[in-house]
Amino acid sequence: MSDMIKFARPYAKAAFQLAREGGRLSDWSEMLQLASRIAADEVVARAISSPHVTRQQAVDLFLTIGTDQFDDQFAKMLTVLAENDRLAILPEISAMYEQLRQEHEKRLSVRVVSAVALTDDQQERMSAALKKRFNRKINLQSETDISMLGGAIIYAGDLVIDGSVRGRLQKLATQMAE
The answer, yes or no, to whether residue 4 has pLDDT greater than 80, is no
Q: What is the pLDDT of residue 2?
A: 60
- Please give the residue range of the domain that contains residue 91: 2-102
Rg of the Cα trace of the chain? 21
71 band by pLDDT with thresholds 50, 70 and 90: very high
Same domain, 24 and 84: yes
Residues in Cβ contact with 39 at an 8 Å cutoff, skipping those fewer than 6 apart: 45, 48, 62, 87, 88, 89, 90, 91
| pLDDT tens digits along 100-156 | 998 899 988 899 999 889 999 999 999 999 999 988 899 899 999 988 888 889 998
Position 163 pLDDT exceeds 50 = yes
State which of 102, 118, 140 marks the end of a domain: 102
Other CB atoms within 10 Å distance of the CB of residue 176: 7
Note whether 11 and 31 are same-domain residues. yes
Mean pLDDT, rounded, of the chain = 91
- Give the domain CATH number at 91: 1.10.520.20
pLDDT of residue 125: 93
Task: Let me know whether 33 and 98 are in one domain.
Answer: yes
> Which of 75, 102, 129 is the endpoint of a domain?
102
> What is the per-residue pLDDT for 157?
77
Closest by Cα among 157, 149, 165 to 111: 157
Rounded mean pLDDT, 18-41: 96
Q: Can you give the pLDDT at residue 94? A: 96
Backbone angles phi, psi at 94, to 5 degrees: -60, -45
Average pLDDT over residues 167-176: 81
Residues 10 and 98 in one domain: yes
Could you tell me if 39 and 90 are in contact, meaning their C-beta atoms sit under 8 angstroms apart? yes
| Rounded Cα gap, residues 131 and 71, in angstroms | 35
Calculate mean pLDDT across residues 4-31: 93
More confident residue, 5 or 64: 64
Q: Name the residue among 94, 97, 105, 72 with its Cα closest to residue 17.
A: 97
Q: Cβ distance 76 to 117 under 8 Å?
A: no
84 and 114 fall within a common domain: no
Distance, in Å, from the CA atom of 92 to the CA atom of 3, rounded to the nearest integer, reads 11
In terms of domains, do 8 and 74 share one?
yes
Same domain, 86 and 126: no
Is there a single domain that holds both residue 98 and residue 20?
yes
Backbone CA torsion sign across 84, 76, 100, 41: negative
Query: Are 65 and 44 within one domain?
Result: yes
Looking at 102, 118, 143, the residue that finishes a domain is 102
Q: Are residue 16 and residue 78 in the same domain, yes or no?
A: yes
Same domain, 126 and 159: yes
Higher per-residue pLDDT: 5 or 15: 15
* Residue 56: predicted pLDDT: 95
CATH classification of the domain holding 150: 3.40.30
> What gap in Å lies between CA 165 and CA 167, rounded to an integer?
5
Is residue 3 predicted with pLDDT exceeding 90? no
8 A C-beta contact, residue 109 and residue 102: yes
Whether residues 95 and 132 fall in one domain: no
Instruction: Give every CB contact of residue 9 below 8 A, 6+ residues apart in sequence.
Output: 96
pTM score above 0.85: no
Number of structural domains the chain divides into? 2
